Structures are given as C-alpha cells and as structure tokens.
C-alpha cells in the first residue's frame, strides 16, 4: 500500500486566510516589534490586493491597548480576546469558509498566542503557514523553540516573500506590478539568521 502523500503546503488566494495576532501598543517594547509589524503590514496589503480574507485580534485591549496604526489595519474590526488562541473568537469566520485550506499567521507572541492558534488550526485539519519574519517574542529562546514546536506539529515555516509569491503564482498576474513594489525591498532583519545559523539542532 502506497504511503500517504505529505502535504505540500501550497497556498492559493481562494482557499487561504491571513491571521493578524495582537500587534498592540503595549507590546512595542518586544524585541523586533517594529520589524515584524512592517512585514505583517506588507502581508495585509498583499491580502487586500489578492482578496484574501483577513482577521485581526487584540489580547485584552483594555490593558494592552489597541492595534498599532502602522499595521495599516484600519477598516478591519478587531476581535477582542483573553484566550491565547485566536481560534475561539474567529470561529464564525472559519465556519463561513468551507473552502478554507491554509492560514497565514503573523503576530506575537510566538510561544503563546501564535503557538496556540497554530495548534488549534492544525487540530481543525487546516494547513498553517507561520510567517517567520512577522512573528516575535520577548525572549528569542521562546521564539526559537516555539517555531520548532510548531514545525514538529506540522506547521510550515515560511517567509513573507515566499508566501506572497506563492499567492501570486504568476508574473502575468494583474496585480504583479503592485505586489512587486511591495517586495522590492527585502524584509527588515528580525534576528532570524541568528536563530537558524550553524545548523541549529532544533531545525534538523
């Protein structure tokens, strides 16, 4: 009997969603916050150009403040939550999209809300793409181990540009010129080379 074919992790606009997790004012002190927000903002611009539905959450906004304006999420209604996972508060959006196959996940913190959201989505049978240059933590050890943990559980670790190009699929796409402008400059450094260098045993 042939072995089951592993999931390839393809992403298509018509079967994907973008999740933006808890990029709020009181998290500005978190290391690489500015960089990951700029990358998440780029993902949001692309999602809008390609009609990829997007959900936005805020963790206990009464204490942690609103979403930072530089994310560019004006027009999105944030879902307030206390649960670390995003899934309980966006259940309605998930249920309304039976064609959904893939979720692209950005935000913080990697070891808390990102990890628990990824596990809940995987438990629903969805493919999860963690946008590694759009996720961070106060502790880079927590960030590193959480990325490894999600990979062990079946999530895909991807960069923003890799996912953007997968979503677009073809240089003949009518939005190619607009998206090309967005990815012309590389993503800002968010410390990933330091996490992945020297054949880190967590990612073997």
- Residue 76 pLDDT > 50, yes or no? yes
Span 37-55, average pLDDT: 97
DSSP letters spanning 122-148: HHTT-EEEEEEEEEE-SSHHHHHHHHH
Residues 6+ apart with CB under 8 A from 111: 137, 139, 142, 143, 145, 146
In the predicted structure, residue 175 carries a pLDDT above the cut 70: yes
Question: What H or E segment, with its residue span, contains residue 153?
Answer: helix 140-153
d(CA 20, CA 114): 10
Which positions are annotated as active-site residues?
22, 81, 113
Q: What global pTM score does this model have?
A: 0.93
Beta bridge mates, 103? 17, 128
Confidence of residue 1 (pLDDT cuts 50, 70, 90): very low
Between helix 160-168 and helix 176-183 the angle, nearest 10°, is 170
Question: Average pLDDT of 17-42?
Answer: 97
pLDDT over threshold 70, residue 127? yes
Percent of the chain whose pLDDT exceeds 70: 92
Domain residue ranges of the chain, discontinuous segments joined by +: 16-185
- From residue 195, give the alpha-carbon distance in Å to each of 33, 104, 130: 16, 21, 15
Average pLDDT score, the chain: 92
The per-residue pLDDT for 193 is 78
Q: Topology of domain 16-185, per CATH?
A: Rossmann fold (3.40.50)
Please report the pLDDT score of residue 191 as a whole number: 87
Q: Is the dihedral of CA 36, 118, 182, 93 positive or negative?
A: negative
> Would you list the DSSP string of 162-185?
HHHHHHH--TTSTTHHHHHHHHSS
């Amino acid at each position: 009997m042939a072995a089951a074919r592993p999931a390839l992790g393809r992403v298509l606009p018509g079967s994907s969603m973008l999740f933006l997790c808890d990029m709020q004012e009181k998290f500005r002190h978190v290391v690489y916050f500015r960089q990951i927000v700029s990358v998440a903002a780029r993902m949001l611009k692309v999602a809008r150009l390609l009609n990829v539905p997007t959900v936005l959450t805020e963790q206990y906004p009464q204490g942690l403040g609103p979403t930072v304006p530089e994310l560019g999420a004006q027009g999105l209604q944030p879902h307030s939550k206390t649960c670390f996972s995003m899934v309980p508060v966006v259940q309605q959006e998930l249920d309304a999209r039976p064609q959904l196959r893939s979720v692209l996940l950005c935000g913080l913190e990697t070891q808390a809300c990102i990890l628990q959201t990824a596990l809940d989505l995987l438990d629903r049978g969805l493919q999860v793409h963690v946008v590694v240059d759009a996720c961070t933590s106060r502790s880079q050890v927590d960030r590193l181990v959480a990325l490894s943990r999600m990979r062990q559980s079946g999530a895909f670790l991807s960069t923003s540009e890799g996912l953007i190009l997968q979503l677009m699929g073809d240089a003949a796409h009518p939005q190619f010129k607009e998206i090309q402008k967005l990815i012309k400059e590389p993503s800002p450094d968010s410390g990933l080379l330091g996490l992945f260098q020297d054949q880190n045993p967590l990612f073997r």
